Amino acid sequence: MKRQQQSIEDGARLLREGGLVLFPTETVYGLGADAGNNRACLRIFEAKERPPDNPLIVHIADIEQLAGVCEGAPPDSALRALELFSPGPITVVVAHNGSICPAATTGLPTVAVRIPSHPVARSLLAAAAIPVAAPSANRSGRPSPTSYAMAVEAMEGRADLILDGGTCEVGLESTILDCTGTPNRILRPGGVTREMLLDAGFHLALPEEGDQGGEDHYRAPGSRYQHYRPKAAVRLAESREREGVERFLAAEGVASVLVLGLREQIEPLSSLLSLAPAVAEVQRFESLEEFGRSIYDSFFRADRRGLRSVLAILPEGVGVGVAIRDRLARAGTRL
Ligand code: TXA
Ligand code: MG
């Protein structure tokens, strides 16, 4: 406990001095720097090999800090979203007041802000007492780290300090809600779902064509880029595509495929999977939450085992299923 306290204080000092600190959040691990320090934020882009026009998310310790980065009074929708769902996996986009450096915003007049709930992130932000820009701590295009081991593999030697916070509870990046206009718009689906926002009375722009399938219609600037790909090829199928699955497995090498999906959707394919020599392992998830939490870890696992491909059976596009479909669609291709 004492050691952890010490490393959090070291992390806070490093952040204030312009260093890069990799820290856990409840969604994924983030690579953090002082959001007001342009030079420090540029180092994030270098370490991640991130395209220079993909802005960073700014992390704050509490809702009071929002007023310090917003231009004028924060929009009601942003305050309400943070009040209802923070600390937690929601990010609000608001106009900024110039206190966030241009490297972090990539020169946009808006900034994406969130309050993470992971205790290590909370202690670090409170101790640093500055807004911290932190994208997911993966190399660009690769899966986001959701455990300390994945974070170390992605960024060892590139961050000044890596804080250990165990396994991330949500495992998918935060929901991004554009609060700069009405209606609000979900720019990236995540753990706070469309249904949760609608139930709370938010007016949301209609999802665009293809949103349910996650076919790349979300508008966060980062969504243009290919994301989340492991070395293994990721292939996607609906549970009903039995013939396609059979054909795909017949063409793969012995013990070369990791299959994953919800238990209820894998069940109808069970006899097929148990007979196919190509199947190295089947991961059956009991809930959408468990599926979401495990996606990047499963990619990591497939690569560590040197498997040729991952076959994901898609969940329905409701609740967290929308975010899962979105990430899988970016990582792979349909059968
Ligand atoms: O859960 C998360 O949000 C994680 C953890 C570390 O907090 N962070 C994260 O950051 O996912 P990153 O960089 O991987 O994704 C940031 C996303 C990008 O798609 C980016 O385009 C979008 O946020 N974004 C940042 N600033 C924005 C802005 N002003 N307007 C719209 N989208 C913005
Ligand atoms: Mg990312």
pLDDT one-digit tens code per residue, 273-309: 999 999 999 999 999 999 999 999 999 999 999 999 9
Looking at the CA of 54, which ligand is closest? 1
DSSP conformation class of 96:
B
Mean pLDDT of the chain: 94
48 contacts 139 by C-beta, under 8 angstroms:
yes
Residue with tokens 């004492």: 2
Alpha helices, H only, 231-275: 242-251, 263-266, 270-275
- Using an 8 Å Cβ cutoff, are 145 and 151 in contact? yes
> Is 80 exceeded by the pLDDT of residue 218?
no
Predicted local confidence at residue 207, as pLDDT: 74
Ligand 2 centre from 141 Cα, in Å? Answer: 8
Q: CB of 227 within 8 A of CB of 294?
A: no
Band (211; pLDDT cuts 50, 70, 90): very low
Position 220 confidence tier, pLDDT thresholds 50, 70, 90: low
Which of 140, 178, 154 has the alpha carbon at shortest distance from 54?
Answer: 140
Alpha helices in 53-134 (DSSP H): 76-85, 102-105, 119-128
Residue 328 has pLDDT above 70, yes or no: yes
Neighbours of 36 (CB within 10 A): 18
Around ligand 1, the residues with Cβ closer than 6 Å are 25, 27-28, 30, 54-57, 91, 93, 108, 110-112, 114, 116, 134-136, 173-174, 176, 187-188, 220-223
* Residue 33: predicted pLDDT: 98
**Model confidence band, residue 313 (pLDDT cutoffs 50, 70, 90):** very high
Asked whether the predicted pLDDT for residue 216 surpasses 90, the reply is no
Q: Is the pLDDT of residue 324 over 60?
A: yes
Whether a cis peptide bond, with omega within 30° of 0, leads into 87 is yes
The answer to whether 86 touches 117, Cβ cutoff 8 Å, is yes
Pocket test of ligand 1: the residue of 20, 23, 26, 57 to mutate, having most ligand atoms within 8 Å of its CB, is 57
Cα of 135 vs centre of ligand 2, distance in Å, is 6
Residue written as token pair 């917003």: 70
Give residues with Cβ within 8 angstroms of 246, minimum separation 6: 272, 276
If DSSP codes are grouped into helix, strand and coil, which group holds residue 184? Answer: strand
**pLDDT for the residue numbered 210:** 46
Q: Which residues pair with 110 in a beta bridge?
A: 95
C-alpha separations of 292 from 8, 173, 205, 281, 312 in Å: 28, 10, 24, 18, 12
- The 10s digit of each residue's pLDDT in 39-90 is 999 999 999 999 999 999 999 999 999 999 999 999 999 999 999 999 999 9
Position in ligand 1 atom list of the atom nearest CA 137: 6
Residue pointed to by tokens 């992130």: 121
Residue 220 and residue 178 in contact, taking contact as beta carbons nearer than 8 Å? no
Residue type, 279: V
Mutate to test the pocket of ligand 1, among 173, 293, 295 (most ligand atoms within 8 A of CB): 173
What is the Cα–Cα distance from 299 to 13, expressed in whole angstroms? 34
Please check the confidence at residue 254 and state whether its pLDDT lies above 90.
Answer: yes
The 10s digit of each residue's pLDDT in 128-164 is 999 999 999 999 989 999 999 999 999 999 999 999 9
Share of the chain above pLDDT 70, in %: 94
pLDDT at 2: 67
